[in-house]
Structure 1
Amino acid sequence: MTSGTTGAAAALADLPPSPAVWCSGLRKRYGRQTAVEDVSFSVARGEVLGLLGPNGAGKTSVIKMLLGLVRPDAGEVLLLGRRASDPRSRSAVGYLPELFRYQPWLTPREVLDLHVRLAKADVRASERQECLALVGLADRAGDRVGGFSKGMQQRLGLAVALVARPELVVLDEPTSALDPIGRVDVRDLVLALKSRGVAVLLNSHLIGEVERVCDRVVILDKGRVAASGTLAELLGQREVRLRLAGVDGRIEDRLRAAGSLTRSGDWFTVQLTADDDGVTVPDLVRDLVGLGVAVHAVEPVRISLEERLLAVLRHDEPTAEGTQR
């Protein structure tokens, strides 16, 4: 190998990995109805991205175009560095569709065996059993699927999505049929995938779950991207309210040093920046006490993802900085 070839190989090795998902300008129409229009976003390796929006916003249509199940009228898609039109792009993708049904005469073990063969994946029987244990079905591996509740079938669908050790997992309403314990299990599972560097694209109506596990969010409305960004960007600035006694000019100056200040009686509201490192408030309270201020209450205030989603969809307020319309 020549030195020039060696140098080029080293340069390529230093490049960051391609995004798990990259799409640009996706458009899909069904007759006169536009389902998706000019949708663009990406999902980095090891990132959890939440796809939010009302029914009919185009979320499932976008997912199907990403996975090659529906051909877009316009736009480009790359999965794990390959064009979505290349069947190899989906070889390391796990998918849980919103609606699915398995043959009722099969057992969970047989369902996984079938999907492993279809995927032409090399997955040992012990790994398949571990996958069933991961979703809470280890003790039902030999039972017929036809006797399963909807929640148990949902767990089996998760096992199918994960059994071939994917690098990208696409989950379309993964907790729709699960009880609260099952939802916590899915949340822990998503976080475990993230810790292993697996990218996750999560479509869910459970906004609280999205807020707990997602790094970034894309909000769709009427087939378009209404807003997108990190949770900090979407939720904007945080505030802390303090009820204080013994406040003078020095104290107000210290409060203003922490952020923009407003006052109502003995309540003081300090607006914190989105990139606050978590020490501003403890340091502020310590300094206030040291200056002789009586601190009666400290209340963190932050807009919820649900509130921001409703504001975006109702056009009640402009999109936060760092998002796109």
Structure 2
Amino acid sequence: MSPATVAKPTPSPSVSDVVIETQNLSKDYRDFWGRQKVRALKSLDLEVRRGEIFGLLGPNGSGKSTTIKLLLGLLFPTGGRALIFGEEATEVRKNERIGYLPEESYLYKFLNAEETLDFYGRLFDMPAKVRRERTAQLIEQMNLTWAKKRQLKEYSKGMTRRIGLAQALINDPELVLLDEPTSGLDPIGTREMKDIIIKLRDEGKTVVMCSHLLADVQDVCDRIAILHQGELKELGRVDALLTVKDVTQVRAKNLTPEAQEEIRQVIAKHGGELLGIETPTTTLEELFLSIVRDSEARPGRRVLEKDAPKS
């Protein structure tokens, strides 16, 4: 794993470090007569801390999009609270500090990249000089300088995804919400997108991303929450959740076949070089499928924060 993909340690949070907090957050969708039709979210309790990349995972219908819409104030909760920067999620002013990339970007296809970003900059009442500087910076960051004068209708899905992210960042937000950010990107574009997300964290921004591509989440996220049928099933640091318990892995070189069957002291005795003794990990895909299958077999909430030991 390259240094860029290593999750940084999570310090003990203070109240000011909590960017998103949900308390018993629930959402029911009702029919015409006001009767409960679907319970999309059930008593969600979680915190997202400043400067981390937080992954929100779950199969279709698990409540991910509902959670994002509740955080943005696009939906009103049936019960509980959602707080952003310590304010109710329904408070419109908070949106000036948020950038949002939806799963499907709704952009004006007859504008080019410069015109698109200038338009969204105007929505934030940004001065003309700031809009020009920010637009040029983001177009270069998204590697779209060569296509900045082309209308968006001529863009591929991957290019549209990148200009959509640039639109989400035009106001230099503190909190960035990303829904399927790597959708439609080729392997190079996916790597570039993940590098951008990591850079956002390194700049001190908080990122919440939803994705079905578990390898992408495993690469960049510090912590994750797994939802299933509207319930929180797992919450914790990626490295802690993927650690295989009660198993030790020994890696060495220059050992004879006899020495390979021995333990630490015998490795040294046979002149071997100890490369490492560590706890092996599973993959996020295996963890995700295990939690979903366990949830279907044994319904009910099951969540335990599994963070690395605090220093």
- The TM-score range, normalised by the shorter chain, is 0.7 to 0.9
| Structure 1 residue 101 displacement after superposition | 2.2
- 1:29 corresponds to: 28
Paired residues for 1:107-256 under 5 Å:
107-122=112-127, 123-236=130-243, 237=245, 239-241=248-250
| Structure 1 residue 323 displacement after superposition | 4.7
- 1:56 corresponds to: 61
Deviation by residue 1:292-323 (Cα, 9 ceiling, x = unmatched): 36579979632111111111111189968635
Find the aligned partners of 1:200 and 1:143 in 2 and give their Cα distance: 29
Find the aligned partners of 1:288 and 1:48 in 2 and give their Cα distance: 42
Inter-CA distance 181–157: structure 2 relative to 1 (3 Å threshold): same
Find the aligned partners of 1:48 and 1:144 in 2 and give their Cα distance: 32
Inter-CA distance 288–109: structure 2 relative to 1 (3 Å threshold): farther
Find the aligned partners of 2:89 and 2:262 in 1 and give their Cα distance: 55
- 1:266 corresponds to: 261
Q: AA paired with 2:261?
A: D
| Structure 1 residue 191 displacement after superposition | 0.7
2:302 is equivalent to residue 322 of structure 1: no
Larger-Rg structure: 1
Unaligned runs of 5+ residues in structure 2 are: 1-13, 31-36
- Tell me which of 81, 88, 91 is aligned to 2:96: 91
Conserved? CA contact 2:121–2:131, under 8 Å: no
Deviation by residue 1:249-295 (Cα, 9 ceiling, x = unmatched): xxxxxxxxxxxxxxxx9376xxxxxxxxxxxxxxx5xx654333657
- 1:290 corresponds to: 268
- 1:310 corresponds to: 289
Inter-CA distance 288–160: structure 2 relative to 1 (3 Å threshold): farther
Find the aligned partners of 1:167 and 1:189 in 2 and give their Cα distance: 15
Q: Identical aligned pairs, as a percentage? A: 33
Inter-CA distance 242–150: structure 2 relative to 1 (3 Å threshold): closer
1:169 match: secondary structure: strand
RMSD: 2.7
Find the aligned partners of 1:150 and 1:33 in 2 and give their Cα distance: 32
- 2:16 corresponds to: 17
Task: Report the TM-score when normalising by structure 2.
Answer: 0.81
Q: AA paired with 2:135?
A: R
Inter-CA distance 16–315: structure 2 relative to 1 (3 Å threshold): closer
Find the aligned partners of 1:321 and 1:232 in 2 and give their Cα distance: 14
2:198 match: secondary structure: helix
| Structure 1 residue 235 displacement after superposition | 1.6
Larger mean Cα displacement after TM superposition, 295-304 or 230-239: 295-304
Unaligned runs of 5+ residues in structure 1 are: 1-14, 248-264, 269-283
| Structure 1 residue 79 displacement after superposition | 1.3
Inter-CA distance 297–48: structure 2 relative to 1 (3 Å threshold): closer
